[in-house]
Structure 1
Amino acid sequence: MLVQRINEHWLLFTFEHELDPAQRTTLVIDERDGVAHRSYGVDQITVITELRFMEDDEPMPPRPRFPRLQEWPRLEY
């Protein structure tokens, strides 16, 4: 993983695959709000174009629950 500062408040995270450095995923985070605004992967791109801040009296949405992994996921290339 490599982290670089871009301009004044952006952090660029680059994640390299352990066995294939050409396979990379990048993530751009705004330090001011901690939100990931862009993510570029091998097979997908995510760009956040709008944020909505919750009101102070608005109830928090339930946290997602995931079952515990019984074994490591198998990687297939």
Structure 2
Amino acid sequence: MDRQSRRLRQENNLPRLSFGGIDILCASAGIFPQTKLVDLDPAEWDRVMATNLKSAFLSSSPASYLFREGGQRVP
């Protein structure tokens, strides 16, 4: 997907026109197995990290365009 298509898709997923933008974003979705850390195998750890990091990325990436347009600092 090229950069312009990605931006259009991201903007369409956010209700900017309805709500006027985003002031705060809390990307807190995630999972953690009901297993002691010492008993966790590497494959399960990879699944947890992939889910938790991807959820933060997928929720914050589209919002970054709106933060930039609003004059906020986005690293």
TM-score range relative to shorter protein:
under 0.3
TM-score (norm 1): 0.22
Q: Which has the higher contact order (CA 8 A, sep 6+)?
A: 2
Q: Hey, which of these two has a bigger chunk of strand by percent?
A: 1
